Each structure stands twice: as C-alpha cells, then as structure tokens.
Amino acid sequence: MHIFRVSFINQGKIYQLYAESVKQAEVFGFIEIRNLIFGEASGLVIDPSEEKLKNEFSGVSRTLVPMHAIIRVDEVEKRGQCKIMELDANANITPFPSPYYRPDKGSDS
C-alpha cells in the first residue's frame, strides 16, 4: 500500500494529511485526495489537531484541492500525524496567485 503525505494551504493554514491515493482530478486545476488515513484512537492520548481534521473530513470519500494550494506531496513509508499548522507571517510559503486559467480570456465575444 502506498501512503502519501499531502501539504496544502486552506483558509490561511497549512493542512498536512495522509492518504492512500493522490492524483489529478477530472475537474481542471484540482488534485484529488482519496482514502484519508487517520490514527486510531488509543483511548488515553487524543491529539486535538488530528481529531479536528478527522471530524472535518468525516464522511468524505475524496476531497479536491486546488492545484495552486498544494505545497508538497511525498510518498512516505508510514503514516505520521495529521495536523493543521498556522501559516507563519515570516514563512517562505505564499499561496500562488490565483487568476484562474480561462480559455475564453482574450476573446472579445
């Protein structure tokens, strides 16, 4: 089984998720992330950040993320901790400018 770590920007925060499948979506300009992997609750230690992500994506079979929001996709050997991180104001990570590609741009019809 392949495991991918996907980092992307969403609402001014960096999301880091683990999934079994990452590919280009049928929808132009989006990446499809499927079969999200979350840690098993051990009962004693519950990570609030991962629980928040688990709740946010509960019932989601796949999610589509805009291509320009993706920071990085890595194939890893084992699953790590899913998390949401604040985007530091001094960080070198900046959302890509988002004037979307428009096939009709430039035509005056």
The domain limits of the chain are 3-44+58-86
Q: What percent of the chain lies above the pLDDT cut of 90?
A: 40
Mean per-residue pLDDT of the chain: 81
Return the pLDDT at 7.
Answer: 95
Q: How confident is residue 88, by pLDDT bands cut at 50, 70 and 90? A: confident
Pick the CATH number of 3-44+58-86 from 2.30.30, 1.10.287, 3.40.50, 1.10.40: 2.30.30
- The 3-class secondary structure across 33-98, one letter per residue, is EEEECCCCCCCCCCCHHHHHHHHHCCCCCEEEEEHHHEEEEEEECCCCCCEEEECCCCCCCCCCCC
Spatial neighbors of 46 by CB under 8 A, at least 6 apart, are none
What's the CA gap between 109 and 107, in Å, rounded?
Answer: 6
Give the tens place of pLDDT for each residue, 2-59.
999 999 998 888 999 999 999 999 999 999 999 998 876 555 566 677 888 888 888 8
Return the pLDDT at 12.
Answer: 83
Q: Above 90 in pLDDT, residue 105?
A: no
